[in-house]
Amino acid sequence: MAEGQTGAAGPDLAQGVSLDELPDGGKLLGKVGEEPVLLARQGAEVFAIGAQCTHYGGPLADGLIVGETVRCPWHHACFSLRTGEALHAPAFSPVDSWGVEQRNGKIFVREKKTPVPALTRTTSGTPKRIVIVGGGAAGFAAAEMLRRKSYEGEIVILSSDEAPPVDRPNLSKDYLAGNAPEDWIPLRPGEFYRDNRIDLRLSATVERLDVESHELTLLSGEALRFDRLLLATGAEPVRPTIPGASPSDIFVLRSLADGRAIIERAKAAKRAVVLGASFIGLEVAASLRTRNIDVSVVAPEATPMERVLGGEMGEFVRALHEEHGVVFHLGATATAVDEGTVRLSDGSTVKADFIVAGIGVRPRVGLAEAAGLKVDRGVVVDAFLETTAPGIFAAGDIARWPDRASREAVRVEHWVVAERQGQLAALNLMGGRERFTASPFFWSQHYDVQINYVGHAERWDEIAVDGNIDAKDCLVRYKRGGRTLAVASISRDLASLEAEVAFERGAPG
């Protein structure tokens, strides 16, 4: 899918630009033919790569150069300036790269380079069969990286889902709002798995893991041996039971099937109740408003998202949704449903044709726990994402890993973190010894406002606001003992990227 930048702006780089226009460390947007090209200089070297991010089309010229890489301002994908490779998710496909000639103080962009196949990371002791349990963000990213790094052995993905890996964040955003067709949702078309010899088995639930014999048993009774294993079983939504409500009246949103079901029900509906005022609940509320459905949000907290973003950001989010017609019933829970009327704990009632619950998720740690792996509010992994059983790794929503910046063992439920952990786990599954040092990052979309968040702050004693939250232009720092633990931002993409780099270097300030 490609949105954002279209057409090409800036100077024609084939005709040449003066080296003076590109100071060391600088970047410049130009074009070659009709293609937007980013020129970047590192010392004496000048690089030319495609200027449009292969994730959702973000403008790389507005991104951050870090060494020989550029990071996308929208969702922080990272590309190599030298080769165009998408080094870190959420982008997977490379951007093009061009040869550059420097002559008489001018830079000329020449012919497009042919991509060079990535090097195999390990040659000896490489496992014959790598099995991945989970066909979501982490599982997909791991399989893709294994093949990208020329892993030649067998790759099997076992997934409970009926659908191949999907762009899960989109399910509550453009897809639910009706702005993204369903063919945008798969992360890759079916041929990708066939062409890359990835044995993707759908509706294949693993019931048992035997750590000693390296064997998995599926719900179907089939047994499968592995040499190395990645557990990436994600999380499942909490399903509330409300007296009087039939299960078919209450929807949750995790899978493509869940998304389809909500869209089907929304077609003939006028009113919906959303339970939960956190990210998924409020994104669902925004998308249903786009479909002109009256939405009431019911949640026990006094301010939406306060636990994650603090009071002032929470009030901003509430006001934003109210401007778009969402009605909040805060400090309340649903106690009963009676023929299209939802009764609330504060005595009030709300009419609804259906209910969507976004009241949290539980990490699917049962498989790991039953196998005897260490579990502590998540599957415990080390900096290499290896569990307490050698050769068995875990990534994504289930993994609790030692986070460098916060100096705590953390588990988060973020798309980009799951993908990046899958990518790193792939290297270690092949025998590498790479540490996971990426800083947690997520974004959340509410109408025309995107909130970006880097770092991890479960508690803080100070919130410092730079800019103006109500003006949708701010950088909010969450601090404890004077140290910044996390940064939320609106319209401050570069500062968000800079904070990410600082967290990765362990010096958030």
Ligand X SMILES: Cc1cc2nc3c(=O)[nH]c(=O)nc-3n(C[C@H](O)[C@H](O)[C@H](O)COP(=O)(O)OP(=O)(O)OC[C@H]3O[C@@H](n4cnc5c(N)ncnc54)[C@H](O)[C@@H]3O)c2cc1C
Q: Is the peptide bond before 440 cis (omega within 30 degrees of 0)?
A: no
- The bridge status of strand 327-330 relative to strand 294-299 is parallel
SS3 251: strand
Minimal distance in Å, beta carbon 413 to ligand X? 4
Answer for which of 27, 29, 51, 56 binds ligand FES (CB under 6 A) is 56
59 binding ligand FES? (CB under 6 A): no
Q: Are 232 and 133 in contact (CB under 8 A)?
A: yes
Enter the tokens of residue 70.
């550029």
What angle in degrees, to the nearest 10, is found between the helix axes of 415-429 and 137-148? Answer: 40
Q: Which long-range contacts (CB under 8 A, 24 or more apart) does 499-506 make?
A: 499/454, 499/455, 499/475, 500/71, 500/76, 500/439, 500/441, 500/454, 501/64, 501/66, 501/71, 503/404, 503/405, 503/439, 503/454, 503/455, 504/404, 504/405, 504/437, 504/438, 504/439, 506/404, 506/405
205 binds, among ligand FES, ligand X, none (CB under 5 to 8 A by kind): ligand X
**Interacting residue with ligand FES among 28, 53, 365, 502 (CB under 6 A):** 53
# residues near ligand FES by CB under 6 A: 12
Instruction: Choose from ligand X, ligand FES, none: what does 72 bind? Cβ within 5-8 Å by kind.
Output: ligand FES
Residue pair 400/408 in contact (Cβ under 8 Å)? The answer is: no
Q: How far is the CB of 429 from ligand X (least distance, A)?
A: 15
Count of residues engaged in binding ligand X, rule: CB under 6 A:
36
254 binds ligand X (CB under 6 A): yes
CB hemisphere CA count around 438 (13 angstroms): 29
Q: Which stretch binds ligand X (CB under 6 A): 34-42, 134-142, 180-188, 328-336?
A: 134-142
Task: Confirm or reject binding of residue 74 to ligand X (CB under 6 A).
Answer: no
The secondary structure of 60-97 as a DSSP string is GGGSEEETTEEE-TTT--EEETTT--EEETT--SPPPE
Nearer to ligand X, 201 or 435 (CB): 201
Task: For residue 289, give the 3-state DSSP assignment.
Answer: helix
Between 56 and 354, CB nearer to ligand FES: 56
Strand partners for 454: 441, 487
Check residue 354 for interaction with ligand FES (CB under 6 A).
no
Of 27, 31, 41, 55, which one interacts with ligand FES (CB under 6 A)?
55
Contact with ligand X (CB under 6 A) among 5, 83, 159, 423: 159
Sheet of 223-225: strands edge to edge? Answer: 206-210, 215-218, 223-225
Identified binder of ligand X from the candidate list 69, 80, 97, 172, rule CB under 6 A: 172
Q: Percent helix, strand, coil in the chain (nearest 5)?
A: 20, 35, 45
Q: What is d(CA 387, CA 396) in angstroms, rounded to the nearest whole number?
A: 13
DSSP category for residue 374 = -
Question: Which residue's beta carbon is nearest to the bound ligand X?
Answer: 136
Among 232, 266, 286, 298, binds ligand X (CB under 6 A): 232
Q: Is 51 in the site for ligand FES (CB under 6 A)?
A: no
Binding part of the chain for ligand X, among 53-61, 107-115, 414-422, 492-500 by CB under 6 A, reads 414-422
Site string for ligand FES, 178-197 (x = CB under 6 A): --------------------
Query: Which positions from 87 to 126 touch ligand FES by CB under 6 A, shown as an x/- string?
Result: ---xx-----------------------------------
Least CB distance to ligand X at residue 232 (A): 5
DSSP 8-state code for residue 119? P
Q: Which residues bind ligand FES (CB under 6 A)?
A: 53, 55-58, 72, 74-77, 90-91
Q: Which residues bind ligand X (CB under 6 A)?
A: 133-139, 158-161, 168-169, 171-172, 205-206, 232-235, 253-254, 280, 364, 367, 396-397, 413-416, 418, 442-444
